[in-house]
Amino acid sequence: VEMALVLPILLLMLLGMIQFGFVLSGQIALSSAAREGARLAATGTADMVVRNHLRDILAASPLLSNIEVEIQPAAGARVFGGQVTVRVRAGSPLIVPLPLVVPGGAFSLAAEAVMRVENIAGVKEDAFPLAEQSQMGIRA
């Protein structure tokens, strides 16, 4: 009789721990992908190539769905020494759908990475940000 009272609570706790592990794993994958995407974008890789690469990597995970990749600024607007930001968003579906606990049946995950644009072919070299000119000893 006691087991019938305790088992549903224990089972719910076990499923909650497993779900937490899935969400944490998905968040780690998103953070890693955002970092890799920022690294690629900072070295001059085209935005579409970066997006497709990140979607291919993240699509291999059954823990993630509805993957979105945003890159700012666009490839043509990046300048040497400036920053490029890559944001990745995805959903992590629930093991046991509980619409009252999590609307939509999935947790919304997001990660962002920011890196400096490197000196590469096709990127304007003469456009140092003013804040960095004084740090580098460059006078205008």
> To 5 degrees, how large is the angle CA 107–CA 109–CA 113?
175
Q: What is the pLDDT of residues 55-75, one digit of tens each?
A: 999 988 888 888 999 999 887
Q: What is the pLDDT of residues 37-53, one digit of tens each?
A: 999 999 888 899 999 99
The residues, ordered by sequence, that sit 6+ positions from 18 with a Cβ below 8 Å of its Cβ are: 95
pLDDT of residue 138: 42
More confident residue, 5 or 122: 5
pTM of the model: 0.75
Residue 112: what are its φ and ψ, rounded to 5°? Answer: -140, 140
Q: Is the pLDDT confidence value at 135 over 60? A: no
Q: Is the pLDDT confidence value at 126 over 80? A: no
Q: Is the pLDDT confidence value at 131 over 70? A: no
pLDDT of residue 101: 67
54: confidence class by pLDDT, cuts 50, 70, 90? very high
Q: Is the pLDDT confidence value at 140 over 50? A: no
How many whole angstroms from its chain centre is CA 97? 24
Q: What percent of the chain has pLDDT over 70?
A: 78
The residues, ordered by sequence, that sit 6+ positions from 85 with a Cβ below 8 Å of its Cβ are: 38, 71, 72, 112, 113, 114
Q: What is the pLDDT of residues 83-92, one digit of tens each?
A: 999 999 998 8
Q: Is the pLDDT confidence value at 130 over 70? A: no
